[in-house]
Amino acid sequence: MGEDRRGTGRRLPKGRERVWLWFALSLFLLGCREEPPPERLRQTPPPLEAQRMMMVERQIRARGVKDSRVLAAMERVPREEFVPPDQRPYAYEDGPLPIGQRQTISQPYIVALMTELAAVEQGDKVLEIGTGSGYQAAILAELTPHVYTIEILPKLAERARNTLRRLGYDDVQVKTGDGYLGWPEYAPFDAIIVTCAPESVPEPLKEQLKDGGRMVIPVGRQWTGQTLYVLRKHGDDLEQEAVIPVRFVPMVH
């Protein structure tokens, strides 16, 4: 009766049996432990400057913007400085971002395209309607020291003014007022860029555009279709060229 007929070996004492069971269980649990993710999956996003360079290559140059001065300006101006803190991680994504007051900072490609279409030369006098965050004004200031920009919303105007000063764009003149009326004290302008959409081109802006000047402006209703136009002034005539469909916030007037 002392022999265990279910096996030929002797049974371990109960104490040792427990030890071996715990040892086997530990090995099993170690083998099932979740492996850490590969190093490439734990990588943090590239620094903002690197993201800015990639933005220019992938979103702007790849879409056909060729002006080397515009591309260089887009590489230099830190877009993250013109958005709220909670939007900074998305500063170089391919789209507009909210900046408060129900307004947005435009998609980087649109900023570059409008700047290229305006054909700004060193020394040109440029008027921007719709300062918003101040980003478009900063891009223009990389091309000419004579930049005038109007924002109808006082909080945005003040914030943009402070941001531009903090980043060293001291020559940009920021006015709080109705952009529909333009800025006759400094007219005529070699170029006018409008970053909000009226339903038709404001007459005061036509009058303040210099002979031979260019106006880049979205026109139309926000939800029924807008088109980006380039207007070129020849004497009393305005040559009009449709560029692409767009969607901008409406001009407040």
Q: Which residues are catalytic?
A: 106
Most trustworthy range by pLDDT among 16-20, 40-44, 159-163? 159-163
As a CATH number, domain 46-246 is 3.40.50.150
Q: For residue 101, count other CB atoms closer than 10 A to its CB.
A: 14
pLDDT at residue 15, as a whole number:
55
pTM above 0.85, yes or no: no
| pLDDT, the chain, mean | 88
pLDDT above 70 covers what percent of the chain? 82
Tell me what the mean pLDDT of segment 64-69 comes to: 98
> Where do the structural domains in the chain lie, given as residue ranges?
46-246
Reported as a single tens digit per residue, the pLDDT across 172-218 is 999 999 999 999 999 999 999 999 999 999 999 999 999 999 999 99
Give the pLDDT confidence score for residue 46 in this predicted structure. 84
For residue 76, which amino acid is it?
R
Question: Residue 167: what pLDDT?
Answer: 98
Is pLDDT larger for residue 105 or for residue 10? 105
For the residues 55-77, what does the mean pLDDT come to? 98
Q: Is the pLDDT of residue 113 over 80?
A: yes
